[in-house]
A = this chain, B = another copy of it.
Amino acid sequence: MNTTHTTATTLGMRQTQLFTKTRKQAPSDEISKNAQYLIRAGYLHKEMAGVYSYLPLGLRVLDKITTIIREEMNSIGGQEIRLSTLQDQGPWSASGRWSSADVDVWFKTELQNGTELGLGWTHEEPVTNLMRDHISSYRDLPQYVYQIQTKFRNEVRAKSGIMRTREFLMKDLYSFSRDQEGLDAFYDEAALAYMRVFTRLNLGDVTYKTFASGGAFSKYSHEFQTLSDAGEDIIYVSKEKGIAINKEVYTDEVLKDLGITRDSLVEEKAIEVGNIFKLGTRFSESIGLTFKDEDGKDQFPIMGCYGIGPNRLMGTVAELHSDEKGLVWPKSIAPFKAHIVRIGEVEEVVAHADALYETLTEQGIETLYDDRDVRAGEKFADSDLLGIPVRIVVSQNTLTEGQLEVVVRATGEKKMQTENELIEELSE
């Protein structure tokens, strides 16, 4: 389906105007690489353990990640909604997930009159309840609805920087199908859409669809696991077949079921970047969502749920795409595509750098412009830390040569280019 674009983002920014500063040290209690770099580079602010605020550069990355997810969810027929955070007891009591004894990640609060409310940590119950107003016949199915919304989970221990926090965005999609075949077909489509998301984030090569434990309604669920030493999960990977098995279901029975032998699998640490789950009628039955089939008989829709955490993805990219100097963003989610680093305050250098900045932003190229009057060494170090894909050095030297010095952050490759060559490359 065609898409249009509605969120306004500034195309260019001068670093003298950007309020964030880089810093040499991350908070001492921050041990994960992703949060250390993201805080040092001014992408994030740590509010408390497991709770982070997003500063301009960080929000730009996060917005790009959610845009990619949104595009892929729209492409498989997802309709976007926004459910509330505050949760009424009703539907959760019906499903047996209200009590904090049953679900240990609830944050609860209360109204002035003492009524207990919860903060949504997932949304099967409210979305199923909502659908009771809109689904009544087999003609109303299938439906795929999703949101990108803040979830709250009362984790005993927050860890791994922005990969396991108490407040985070989640893209959660819920599918409602007439029958098992409908669910199975959509489930496979969703899995492909997920892989497209990870590929667009430069995580495709190291992300595996992974067999994990199912529930009452299906033998397995699937996780998407990205290989990384920063991961909390252990998986067994067949790189050849492009699949993996989570340790929790790594049994002889499962191996036999999947036709895989232990010797074809390698043990790896991995980050769970997404999961998909066949719910069956677990929630449609307990919440009372039914439809009339072709024979006029009441049936329960067969449901599935599909989650991706944008913040965790951002942290995963920071873990995998970084080096000893700092972050190395893939082009698709970098806060800016180009970083002009001006060396020197001489009038003609300033004029040239200003003009280049104007030109690039007019060409629609997102550009950060280091127009600060600080030492060259500090500028280069900051530029490496920030991790924008292409650095363009403008100095007396490049002016004399009539060419720009272009440095690719990921490879360190340096080349001299004319302005036209540069624009052509950046516009690709």
Interface of A toward B, CB cutoff 8 Å: 1-12, 17-21, 23, 42, 45, 47-48, 51-56, 59, 62-64, 66-67, 70-71, 74, 77, 79-88, 104, 107-112, 117, 119, 126, 130-131, 133-135, 140, 143, 145, 150, 152, 154, 156, 166-167, 361-362, 364, 366
Contact = CB atoms under 8 A, between A and B. Distances in A.
A77 B17 contact: yes
Contacts of A150: 85, 150
How many copies of this chain does one complex carry?
2
Given A109-B119, A134-B19, A84 B51 contact: yes
A402 B156 CA distance: 68
A175 B9 CA distance: 20
B74 A10 contact: yes
Q: Which has the most chain B C-beta neighbours within 10 Å: A47, A62, A64?
A: A47
A63 B66 CA distance: 14
A344 to B, nearest CB: 19
A71 B8 CA distance: 6
A9 B4 contact: yes
Nearest to A111: B154
A10 B6 contact: no
Contact of A112 (B7, B85, B154): B154
B7 A86 contact: no
Contacts of A83: 47, 53
A232 to B, nearest CB: 18
Counting from the closest, the 7 A-B pairs by CB-CB distance are A5-B5, A7-B7, A2-B11, A54-B82, A3-B8, A53-B83, A48-B88
Contacts of A17: 77, 79
A36 to B, nearest CB: 15
A81 B42 CA distance: 11
A10 B1 CA distance: 7
Given A7-B63, A71-B8, A361-B2, A156 B112 contact: yes
A86 B51 contact: yes
Nearest to A78: B10
A322 to B, nearest CB: 21
Contacts of A70: 7-8
B7 A11 contact: no
Given A3-B9, A47-B86, A112-B156, A53 B81 contact: yes
20 contacts: A1-B12, A2-B12, A2-B361, A3-B9, A4-B8, A4-B9, A4-B10, A4-B366, A6-B7, A19-B140, A23-B133, A47-B83, A47-B87, A47-B126, A54-B81, A55-B81, A56-B81, A59-B82, A85-B167, A119-B119
Contacts of A81: 53-56, 59
Contacts of A366: 4
A82 B61 CA distance: 12
B5 A6 contact: yes
Contacts of A364: 4
A88 B21 contact: no
A49 B112 CA distance: 13
